[in-house]
A and B are shown apart, each in its own frame.
Chain A
Amino acid sequence: MYRYDDFDAQFVRERTDQFRTQVERRLSGELTEDEFKPLRLMNGLYLQLHAYMLRVAIPYGTLSSTQMRRLAEIADRWDRGYGHFTTRQNIQFNWPKLKDVPDILDALAEVEMHAIQTSGNCIRNVTSDPFAGVAADEIEDPRATAELMRQWSTLHPEFSFLPRKFKIAITGSPNDRAATKVHDIGLRMVRNEAGEPGYEVAVGGGQGRTPMIAAVIRDFVPKADLLAYLEAIMRVYNLYGRRDNKYKARIKILVHELGVEAFTREVEAEFAAQEAPVTADPELVTAIEAAFAPPTYAVLADDPPALAQAKAANPAFKRWVDTNLMRHKQPGYAGITVSLKPIGGIPGDATSDQMRALADAADWFGYGELRVTHEQNIVLPDVRQDRLVALWRHLSQHGLDTANAGLVTDIIACPGLDYCALATARSIPVAQAISNRFADDDRQQAIGPLAIKISGCINACGHHHVGHIGVLGLEKNGEEYYQLTLGGAPDGAAAVGKRAGPGLAAEEVPDAIERLVDHYLDRREDDETFLQTYQRLGHDTFKEVIYAPGD
């Protein structure tokens, strides 16, 4: 794993010390709230409905067992014994007290973590494939590039006051598990004709009130040119991006208003005109790449007899393996999704005990590393296949053995009106009701891959635009209601879901979803997924069943 260098460590220390002083000055009345608010936001501290909320960065979703244990300690010592993993691959603590936050930041800094740069109009935490470095379909681990981008963008003077916040996602696989096409910049590793790895660059994706799929502006940028190319994009954005209207300030609007071709021309001209293009110091690149070097794996074969025997002996274990396992680069190993979506639970929440159990699992069954996924689950990247049954037993003692990765109950939901000051409606109770409705394991398996994503307002933190079924919570005359969208997809041929008629009351949502699912099961051909059947039959037939009870 990447470790802080001296610069990082000192920088984080200084920021924490500064923030301690800023809190003291706020408490003594020396700073007004108007002066203090931007400072606390820069340090990841928000005010939610009932309390402050601290958002801790987990760069590209990778963390060590030591860091996970520290998160558990923070939850116990300064919060209410749990945390919430988000679609930004971060963790949020929902109940910190202002006076404790400097101590929390110190505790984070001790394990090389912080809450910096998780807000403001800067380049945010770079997100990545949770299976980076281990996925069988991967060209190269993209996290070395992600780390390079982090170092390049952190406090970059030119990019600290962008027109608006800026999100970059990166994947090293042709199969996009990082939803790159709904980010301001999406990078997907590809090979050129000579077989060299580089990146396909897509710009202008995003969710929120104006969802858009990013347009590919360059099929191939050699790895060595990537930072210079990104700088060209950022400069064009800084120059032409709108600052007069917050809702029009994201780069997606610029790409849309200029047109992809004109935007691309501007970027290419800027790229060509760079006199001293930024390049990464080769020594630094080597050091970062070494930090992401794979562990020394044992020489093993895939599908060991012990695994087959355990699966044959235990149907629940078999279901979990068949559902939550990801093929690993290294024979004899597996990537495992640990679901934070127990039936009827709160998506993404983990208690401090569960965090410790996850840290133990990473140490006992892997190389001490964990990943946070944008689906609000945890990944154990390197588990020996012959030890899967022991891992499963361990996880099941902590309520972490739900076999639903990618299935209908693996629901993404933002905190919504139960916590969030911006929300128009609740998300979590709707997720819980849907989860309870589809609790039956066999039925879930029969339905197959289905992504339901729920946001509590138009900001779309719950990624509803790219849900196969999206649910958006809104409010009218003091009542919550829910707008469904259909056919969205975060990956592959990424798509924004289409609105399906008027909104529904909360209690109508599970019925409507059940009708959609039944319609799919009735009409599907062969092994079609929900999305494929939807695409084949078209929007209208699905839309109709939402409003046709008893059909």
Chain B
Amino acid sequence: MSRKDLPQVVTANDLLSGVVVFWTGQGWSEALADALMLDDPQTQKEALAVAEGDAGRVVGPYLAAVDAAGLVRFRERIRITGPTVDYAGRPDEAGGPGAAAGSSGA
């Protein structure tokens, strides 16, 4: 199945903080779990249009595919988990952003 055929969520960056957010149907949340799942192209288009109208809150909304495991694209997963490397300023060591994506060990 191509990514386009999968359910989608609308994601963007928060205007003030830059953090990654998801469209919940009513507003924006930092948690993917709160995101409104959009199954068909019509609702996807409509939700994106509504999100784009909320330019006072967010920057650059777009659709991202999800499957049972979460966001499909690797890039999108890094967007929510944060850098996969152990950078100096990581806010929370245990289970902080990035812990989920892990290091590739590459």
Contacts and interface: CB of A to CB of B under 8 A. Distances in A.
A47 B85 contact: no
Contacts of B56: 27, 29
A349 B85 CA distance: 12
Interface in A45-91: 47-52, 75, 79-82
Interface stretch (A92-100, A135-143, A366-374): A92-100
Nearest to A424: B75
A507 B87 CA distance: 20
Contacts of B85: 346, 418, 426, 428-429, 432
A32 B78 contact: no
Contacts of B78: 49, 417-418, 426
A75 B91 CA distance: 13
B91 A50 contact: no
B17 interface: yes
Interface stretch (B32-40, B43-51, B98-106): B98-106
A99 B16 contact: yes
Majority-rule SS of A interface residues = mixed
Contacts of A98: 15-18
A478 B104 contact: no
B70 interface: no
Given A29-B56, A507-B106, A349 B19 contact: no
Interface residues of A, number: 44
Given A33-B59, A432-B85, A27 B19 contact: no
Contacts of B82: 50
Contacts of B73: 478
Contacts of A49: 20, 75, 78-79
Contacts, number: 105
Interface in B57-106: 59-60, 72-75, 78-79, 82-85, 87-91, 97, 103-106
Contacts of A429: 84-85, 103-106
B87 A82 contact: yes
A511 B59 CA distance: 41
- Residue of A48, A419, A426, A509 most packed against chain B (CB within 10 A): A426
A509 B89 contact: no
B89 to A, nearest CB: 3
Given A81-B89, A418-B78, A509-B106, A51 B18 contact: yes
B31 interface: no
Contact of A47 (B18, B74, B89): B18
Contact of A50 (B55, B79, B104): B79
Nearest to B102: A429
A51 B16 contact: no
B34 to A, nearest CB: 18
- Residue of A51, A75, A479 most packed against chain B (CB within 10 A): A51
B92 to A, nearest CB: 11
Given A27-B16, A51-B17, A351 B88 contact: yes
A379 interface: no
Interface string B14-26: 0111111000000
A97 B83 contact: no
B13 interface: yes
Contacts of B103: 429, 432
Given A417-B75, A509-B106, A97 B18 contact: yes
Nearest to B52: A33
B86 to A, nearest CB: 8
Contacts of B105: 429, 433, 507
A506 interface: yes
A480 interface: yes
A488 to B, nearest CB: 21
A469 interface: no
A97 B104 contact: no
A430 interface: yes
Interface string A216-245: 000000000000000000000000000000
Contact of B83 (A418, A478, A480): A418
A247 B66 CA distance: 33
B106 A506 contact: yes
A32 B55 contact: yes
B55 A33 contact: yes
B87 A346 contact: yes
Contacts of A478: 72-74
Nearest to A97: B17
B20 to A, nearest CB: 6
Nearest to B101: A418
A507 B75 contact: no
Contacts of A428: 83, 85
Contacts of A79: 89
A52 B20 CA distance: 11
A412 to B, nearest CB: 16
A81 B89 CA distance: 6
Closest 3 CB pairs of A and B: A80-B89, A506-B106, A51-B18
28 contacts: A27-B56, A32-B55, A33-B60, A47-B59, A47-B60, A49-B78, A49-B79, A51-B18, A51-B19, A80-B88, A81-B89, A95-B89, A96-B18, A97-B18, A98-B15, A346-B87, A351-B88, A419-B83, A423-B75, A426-B84, A428-B83, A433-B105, A475-B74, A478-B73, A480-B74, A505-B106, A506-B104, A510-B106
Interface of A: 26-27, 29, 32-33, 47-52, 75, 79-82, 94-99, 346, 349, 351, 417-419, 423, 426, 428-430, 432-433, 475, 478-480, 505-507, 509-510
Given A27-B56, A49-B75, A351-B88, 5 more contacts: A50-B19, A418-B84, A418-B85, A426-B84, A480-B104
Interface of B: 13, 15-20, 55-56, 59-60, 72-75, 78-79, 82-85, 87-91, 97, 103-106
